[in-house]
Amino acid sequence: MSKGDNRLKVLYIIDELKNKSDDNHYIKTSELIAALNEKDLNADRKSVYSYVESLMDYGMNIEKSKLGYKLLSRDFELAELKMLVDALSASRFIPAKKTQDIIKKLESMTSEYNRTQLNRQVYIENAVKSDNWSVIYSIDAIHNAISTNKQISFNYLNTVLDFCSEEKIQRVYRTDEKGEPKIYRQSPYALLWKNENYYMLSFDSDLCRKKTFRVDRMVNVDILKAKREGAKYFLKFDTAKYANTAFSMFGGENADIVLRVKNDLVGVIIDRFGNDIGIYKDDNEHFLCTVNIQKSKMFFSWISGFGDGIELKSPRSIRKEYTDYLRSLLDIYKNDE
């Protein structure tokens, strides 16, 4: 290393400013000199002054005072980094090890004094996280396929129980009719983050319809040379609306329904379906609303969770399906009467 390499001196000064200073901490000129000397780079007070001035002229927001120097602005504020760490920690599709690796990288974007505030290790270790280490690369491949208008292939994992094995819960490939790992070929059109998981919305040419896949269950994702198919099915596709109507991402037949809801649950309805729905008064304690949903047992389960707070009024055919669903649940407990 050249002891007179001023370019290296400037780079190390930047590192020290990022690591050892923030809104509440200054780094002294003597500390910068000592840091450079530890790297076998000769430095004196005058040269450090000059390097810092050059960095300020370049545009780095450095405050200079009798106490020393501190870096006032960074690419990310501490509050933004905390938000990113919490989002990573809560995301089930990102494995725990990968979550910790990314957080370590985020920690390098703040001072050493603030890094402990980004430590969410206890939360991460106790969270329900994916064990698919390749999920980050699968997401990247899907994004690339969408941007280059290409199809992808992949295998899909199922979770099964095997009481004869030491590992009772196992991840196994979905298989084809020959018992071999099934190779899915899809045209990806959107990625959706919902219920703490990532989902891929795609077109299946063999079935000639849209499909939804959990990305953390996709492995061996490859981008194919073939162009995507099914563009017309996504021409007017509203991803946000799809997310609101598909309960727990269990897709089903779309339908407009009318719900009778207690007034104090209006926030629940707005959070679920958005502001652009028809709401009108029924009586002093209830309102009626028309919403579009994808009919599924998960939707029926969502309604039943509110007890008498939400009533499915119409259409009559779906109301009957809902009452049949409730009766099937009661049948499980009929012998307890």
Query: According to the CATH classification, is domain 6-71 in 1.10.10.10?
Result: yes
Q: Compute the distance between CA of residue 78 and CA of residue 210 in angstroms, rounded to an integer.
A: 41
Q: Pick 260 or 87 by higher pLDDT.
A: 260
pTM score above 0.85 = no
Binned at pLDDT 50, 70 and 90, residue 1 comes out as: very low
DSSP 3-state of 184? strand
pLDDT digits (tens, 9 = 90+) for 178-203: 999 999 999 999 988 876 778 899 99
Tokens linked to 55: 């960095």
Indicate whether 275 pLDDT > 70. Answer: yes
Q: Compute the distance between CA of residue 52 and CA of residue 268 in angstroms, rounded to an integer.
A: 54
Q: Compute the distance between CA of residue 22 and CA of residue 109 in angstroms, rounded to an integer.
A: 11
Cβ atoms 107, 115 nearer than 8 A: yes
Any idea which architecture 135-237 has in CATH? Roll (2.30)
The third-level CATH classification (topology) of the domain covering 241-334 is Alpha-Beta Plaits (3.30.70)
pLDDT digits (tens, 9 = 90+) for 229-267: 999 988 887 777 776 666 555 566 778 889 999 999 998
pLDDT digits (tens, 9 = 90+) for 142-186: 999 999 999 999 999 988 777 787 777 778 889 989 999 999 999
Q: pLDDT at position 120, please?
A: 58
Burial status of residue 59 (CB atoms within 10 A of its CB: 0-12, 13-18, 19 or more): exposed
Q: pLDDT at position 251, please?
A: 60
Q: Which amino acid is at 49?
A: Y
Name the range with the highest mean pLDDT among 72-86, 124-138, 296-310: 296-310
Indicate whether 122 pLDDT > 50. Answer: no
Q: How far is CA 131 from the centre of its chain?
A: 16
Q: pLDDT at position 250, please?
A: 56
Q: Compute the distance between CA of residue 29 and CA of residue 202 in angstroms, rounded to an integer.
A: 58
Q: pLDDT at position 222, please?
A: 96
Binned at pLDDT 50, 70 and 90, residue 228 comes out as: very high
Q: How far is CA 284 from the centre of its chain?
A: 40
Tokens linked to 111: 């001072």
Name the nearest CA neighbour of 89 among 112, 118, 61, 113. 118
Find the DSSP H helices in the chain.
Answer: 6-20, 29-38, 45-58, 78-90, 96-107, 121-126, 135-148, 239-245, 266-273, 297-304, 316-332
CB count within 10 Å of CB 140 equals 11
Q: Compute the distance between CA of residue 142 and CA of residue 199 in angstroms, rounded to an integer.
A: 11
